[in-house]
Structure 1
Amino acid sequence: MNLGAYRPVLADRDTRNALLLGFLIRVPMWAGAVILTLHVVTSLGRSYGEAGLVTAASTVAVAVSGPWRGRLLDRIGLRRTVGPSLVVQVVCWSVAPWVGYLPLVAFAALAGLFVVPTFSILRQVIIRSVPSEQRRTALSLDSSATELSFMAGPAIGVWLATSWQTGWALLVCELTSVAAGFVLWLVNPPLTSGSADASPERGPHDEQGEGARGEAVAAPTVPAGERAPRSVRGLVTVPVAAVLLAAACSTLVLSGTDVSIVAALRSFGATGSIGWVLALWGAGSLVGGLVYGAWHRSLSVFWLLGGLAATTAPVALALGVPSFAVLITVSGFLCAPTITATVEQLSRLVPERFRGEMMGWHGSAMTAGSAVGAPVAGFAIDHGGWPWGFAVVSGLGVLIAATGWLASRRGGRVAASRTAPGPGAAPAAPPVGVAPTDSERGLPAASMGD
């Protein structure tokens, strides 16, 4: 482990700005989500189930918009994508706090459909700003900053909602998020390494792809008698789909754990401990992300997912709040590394000119996992008690991780048996979930890039 690896990453101005902007944008985003629920329950006098429907409408809209907004980033650039979103967000959240329940559902869905794709934008900026060998470290910092914002945002949201009228708290929080998005529009950071601005132009080499510094890179060839990997629009190949499945499963485990934490602490009669226990869970993820970023090599997506799921299962054995707090902190250790690994691996599997759309698909996969994990854990808790919430999502995570790992191993053996490279032949691609080394790319470390 080399903590000095963070020094050159933080020395880059674009990376520092992206990390700071990410934190400033995400804090009001998390706070707004909490305030929205409290607004429906307290100010509108509705049930928690109805509050959940508002959140669900917004979540589904965000999931649908992810690939679409990402494709716009690839095609027309940051400003032309974000500008209309800012207008829609201002209109929606200026009106939504003062309307009834059904109009609020509609405004929340519309705002979700035109959400500013901040996660996609900032991760593209970070990937573009650092050399390939520093990518994992930079993305780990982004994951750690996300954990910090997650620890701060809900607490600020609860404080605002209890100090002010929820309508005003919702208005201030959402417009603060829009203001942070406007700063992103104003800064207009470049998203790709092959262009000087954030609006990529298609050149004569687009069909082949671009290298780290904009040079043309020949499209990969397929040996005679071999079939190219099946794909959707040349983008979602089988390896990419496997990583997206791992991303979805990671949030399935995390959202199921979230619900199970609340159920467990209510069972212990310690509802007041929910806030600081969730903070411990986030702190474990924060430490894990920093350790992974300083680690000497990348790890398989499926190994990390399996570890995340396996360390979640022992939480079901807790006998009280103290042991529960210790076990949940340990289970958080692999949260940020797993998500970081999915982003890093996708950035290596997908050409740069499609990266915005792929980050959108990644966000949609994680949103879908979250949407599945919570009800699955809830069903298990209703029928077997809170320990079964942890056990079920852990079992699903281990199963999917093992299946993905075995499939990647089998794919590697099949590829090795079918290809017999001669002198000067290109080296075989690494299995899914394992980042290629410098030697596998056939390039010295000094020339590495995306």
Structure 2
Amino acid sequence: MPFAPYRRVLAVPAARTALLLGLFLRIPMFAGGVVLTLHIVQTLHRGYAEAGVVSALATICIAISGPWRGRLLDRIGLRRTVVPSIIVTALVWSVAPFVGYLPLLLLAIPAGLFVTPTFSILRQAIITAVPDAERRTALSLDSVGVELSFMLGPVLGVWAATTWSTTWVLFAAEMLTVVGAIAVWVVNPVMRSEGHDADAAHLPRREWFSGAFLAVLAAAAATTLVLSGCDVAFVAAMRGYGAVGSLGPVLAVWGLGSALGGLVYGALHRSLPVFALLAGLGIVTVPLALASGPVSLALLSFVAGLFCAPTITATVDAVSRVVDERARGEAMGWHGSAMTAGSALGAPVAGAAIDLQGYAGGFALVGLLGVLVATSGWATVRLRRRRRAAVDVAAAA
């Protein structure tokens, strides 16, 4: 695998800073989600369903905040957008770990609505920092960073929560996210190329909220639907094997496959179509249903993981290319909301299939849904292109 493209990206100081900031911000973020569940179950003595309600409410609020906070990035800039997030997050999480279940549930609302739009900020900074030819490589590195954070954050969170009080571990994890947001404010990464005036950044939504953009959002939602559905199916499979203790290593192999796939995709000389990668993700997910034990599941998950990071990277790259950079903040917010919606749908969809057909049904259903969305999206895009070509021919005649 050629590493020259990655050396070129890492040689750019702004890109290198954004990638490092991403690791610093996301590890405590992923740790905090796991610690919050453990805190509700172990310290507040509530059920997993009640912990799920808190997570679901926060997820809904994060999905709502994505486009809104992204639009603020476009219109008033990074620092003025991030300051309210820093203040609200610090206030909420200085109280939430020390209260009962109902106040914690209510505090999840402002916490979700005012979450720092780190994914949107960092991806815009990376896109702006590198030439167009290096964009896919840089975004692939960012996706690999997300995978590393996803693998490290929960492990560190569970270790800390089983060593010390979940109250103080939750407080520490969320305060680290506040420190990360302050670091973003201090660094203030450039998110718009030279020549674009931030005060004139407003671009009417009707000029960019197009069919092509909606198609990318559908692909992003389908991608996370497949991934979150697999999360549930992995748990069901390992319980069925009587090997729940090996769940962590299996998920780590899955993540390793994703990280390797992201690196390979970033080193390619040309991009691959979003719907082709989504179809590939769905196709390699279905065989997970054939696993007969932890070893075979791990091997199949490594293959399935190869398409995870590339598909997510392709959706981010596509958004950056179909939307003018003056509206890129809001567009990235919509992209994040689509991925959040897909994640929220994946678990219940896979869960329903697991209840009927076991873990094999969960893997098979979400994989087939990924292929279905990819096929439908590809057909829709081709149809729109043919219609546009027909209109152009008629206009020329």
TM class, shorter-chain normalised?
over 0.9
In the TM superposition, residue 7 of structure 1 has moved relative to its aligned partner by: 1.3
In the TM superposition, residue 421 of structure 1 has moved relative to its aligned partner by: 11
Matched, 1:275 2:248: yes
List structure 1 runs of 4+ shifted beyond 3 angstroms: 420-423
Aligned position for 1:323: 296
Contact 1:44/1:101 (CA < 8 Å) preserved in 2? yes
User: SS of the counterpart of 1:419?
Assistant: helix
Please tell me the residue identity of whatever aligns with 1:61: C
Q: Structure 2 matches for 1:65-144, cutoff 5 A?
A: 65-144=65-144
- Structure 2 stretches lacking a partner, 5+ long: none
Please tell me the residue identity of whatever aligns with 1:201: D
Please tell me the residue identity of whatever aligns with 1:372: L
Provide the rounded CA distance (Å) in 1 between the counterparts of 2:354 and 2:154.
24
Give the direction of change, closer, same or farther, for the CA distance of 1:52–1:6 in structure 2 (3 Å limit).
same
Provide the rounded CA distance (Å) in 1 between the counterparts of 2:206 and 2:381.
22
Deviations 1:246-277 (A, max 9, x none): 00000000000000000000100000011111
Which of these two proteins has the greater Rg computed from alpha carbons?
Answer: 1
Provide the rounded CA distance (Å) in 2 between the counterparts of 1:252 and 1:362.
14
Aligned position for 1:441: none
**2:200 pairs with 199, 202, 206, which one?**
202
Provide the rounded CA distance (Å) in 2 between the counterparts of 1:247 and 1:43.
36
Aligned position for 2:49: 49
Aligned position for 1:29: 29
User: SS of the counterpart of 1:138?
Assistant: helix
Provide the rounded CA distance (Å) in 2 between the counterparts of 1:194 and 1:334.
34
Q: Structure 2 matches for 1:161-176, cutoff 5 A?
A: 161-176=161-176
User: SS of the counterpart of 2:246?
Assistant: helix
Aligned position for 1:225: none
Q: Structure 2 matches for 1:158-307, cutoff 5 A?
A: 158-194=158-194, 200-202=198-200, 232-307=205-280
Provide the rounded CA distance (Å) in 1 between the counterparts of 2:160 and 2:361.
34
In the TM superposition, residue 422 of structure 1 has moved relative to its aligned partner by: 12
In the TM superposition, residue 194 of structure 1 has moved relative to its aligned partner by: 2.8
Provide the rounded CA distance (Å) in 1 between the counterparts of 2:109 and 2:38.
18
In the TM superposition, residue 145 of structure 1 has moved relative to its aligned partner by: 0.6
User: SS of the counterpart of 2:21?
Assistant: helix
The RMSD of aligned alpha carbons is 1.7
In the TM superposition, residue 406 of structure 1 has moved relative to its aligned partner by: 1.4
Provide the rounded CA distance (Å) in 2 between the counterparts of 1:2 and 1:98.
50
In the TM superposition, residue 190 of structure 1 has moved relative to its aligned partner by: 1.3
User: SS of the counterpart of 2:374?
Assistant: helix
In the TM superposition, residue 108 of structure 1 has moved relative to its aligned partner by: 1.7
In the TM superposition, residue 354 of structure 1 has moved relative to its aligned partner by: 0.2
Please tell me the residue identity of whatever aligns with 1:325: A
Aligned position for 1:443: none
Provide the rounded CA distance (Å) in 2 between the counterparts of 1:326 and 1:421.
54
Deviations 1:385-416 (A, max 9, x none): 11000011111111110111112222223333
Provide the rounded CA distance (Å) in 2 between the counterparts of 1:255 and 1:171.
26
Provide the rounded CA distance (Å) in 2 between the counterparts of 1:124 and 1:172.
28
Contact 1:70/1:359 (CA < 8 Å) preserved in 2? yes
Provide the rounded CA distance (Å) in 2 between the counterparts of 1:117 and 1:195.
24
Q: Structure 2 matches for 1:403-442, cutoff 5 A?
A: 403-420=376-393
Provide the rounded CA distance (Å) in 2 between the counterparts of 1:85 and 1:260.
35
Contact 1:2/1:296 (CA < 8 Å) preserved in 2? no
Aligned position for 1:427: none
Give the direction of change, closer, same or farther, for the CA distance of 1:409–1:31 in structure 2 (3 Å limit).
same
Aligned position for 1:397: 370
After TM superposition, the score normalised by the length of structure 2 is 0.97
Q: Structure 2 matches for 1:342-361, cutoff 5 A?
A: 342-361=315-334
Q: Structure 2 matches for 1:4-43, cutoff 5 A?
A: 4-43=4-43
Please tell me the residue identity of whatever aligns with 2:381: S
Deviations 1:113-132 (A, max 9, x none): 10000000000000001111
Provide the rounded CA distance (Å) in 1 between the counterparts of 2:395 and 2:11.
42
